[in-house]
């Protein structure tokens, strides 16, 4: 597998967890666009949003997507990466896009169990669960549009990795 693999989906769907394990299984590199942003700017997401607004964050996110795109790489993307048409098109044209799909209730329970991983500022200032339901409803169509393959991400990580490997093999056959 030399084409980059992009993992898309809402915060908490397991892009980082599954991405690391998938990269290991494939003998690929792993990069996370959020992590790349933090190390390349030396700012947190909250800092970028405070200084440059969400618009500035989205612009930097698109640049990060292009910077990390390379053969033999599994790329975990930020939850809002699919918002821009240009990002969806870029991913579809440059690699294989996998949507890790999980319902809002599961995303919420994962993020509540590990609140330190949900540190980015809420978009609405309302409780996290309400926000997840709303954000997922707004973005679901975009995740589907971006994706070449949709994988059920409610299972344990190892099973999700197997499912992704299966769709990649089928696509290649
Ligand atoms: P993302 O990168 O998509 O935001 P993460 O990989 O950081 O998601 O996972 C968010 C949280 O959910 C982490 O605490 C992680 O351990 C947990 N998690 C991820 N995938 C699963 C899974 N398939 N089943 C149970 N918990 C999971
Ligand atoms: Mg992540």
Which residue from 12, 32, 112, 115 has its CB within 8 A of the most atoms of ligand 1, so it is best to mutate?
12
Query: Quick one: pLDDT band at residue 10, thresholds 50, 70, 90?
Result: very high
Considering only CA atoms, which residue is closest to atom 24 of ligand 1? 156
> How much is the ipTM here?
0.99
Q: Is 21 strand, coil or helix? A: helix
- Mean residue pLDDT of the chain comes to 92
Q: Which residues line ligand 1 (CB under 6 A)?
A: 9, 11-17, 76, 110, 114, 117, 153, 156-157, 160
- Cα 39–94–146 angle (5° rounding)? 90
- Determine the distance separating the centroid of ligand 1 and the alpha carbon of 13, expressed in angstroms: 6
The CATH number of residue 89's host domain is: 3.40.50.300
* Structural domain containing residue 42: 5-169
Give Cα 172 to chain centroid, integer Å.
Answer: 23
In the chain, the number of structural domains is: 1
- Give residue-wise pLDDT tens across range 101-160: 999 999 999 988 776 554 555 666 667 788 899 999 999 999 999 999 999 999 999 999
């Amino acid at each position: 597998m030399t084409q980059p693999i992009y993992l898309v989906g809402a915060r908490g769907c397991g892009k980082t967890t599954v991405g690391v394990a998938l990269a290991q299984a494939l003998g690929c590199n792993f990069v996370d666009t959020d992590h790349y942003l933090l190390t390349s700017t030396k700012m947190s997401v909250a800092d970028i949003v405070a200084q440059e607004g969400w618009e500035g964050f989205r612009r930097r996110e698109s640049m990060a997507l292009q910077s990390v795109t390379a053969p033999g790489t599994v790329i975990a993307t930020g939850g809002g990466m699919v918002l821009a048409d240009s990002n969806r098109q870029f991913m579809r044209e440059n690699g294989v896009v996998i949507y890790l799909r999980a319902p809002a209730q599961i995303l919420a329970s994962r993020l509540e169990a590990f609140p330190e991983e949900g540190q980015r500022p809420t978009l609405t200032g309302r409780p996290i669960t309400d926000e997840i339901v709303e954000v997922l409803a707004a973005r679901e169509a975009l995740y589907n549009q971006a994706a070449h393959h949709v994988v059920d991400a409610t299972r344990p990580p190892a099973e999700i990795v197997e499912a992704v490997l299966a769709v990649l093999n089928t696509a290649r056959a």
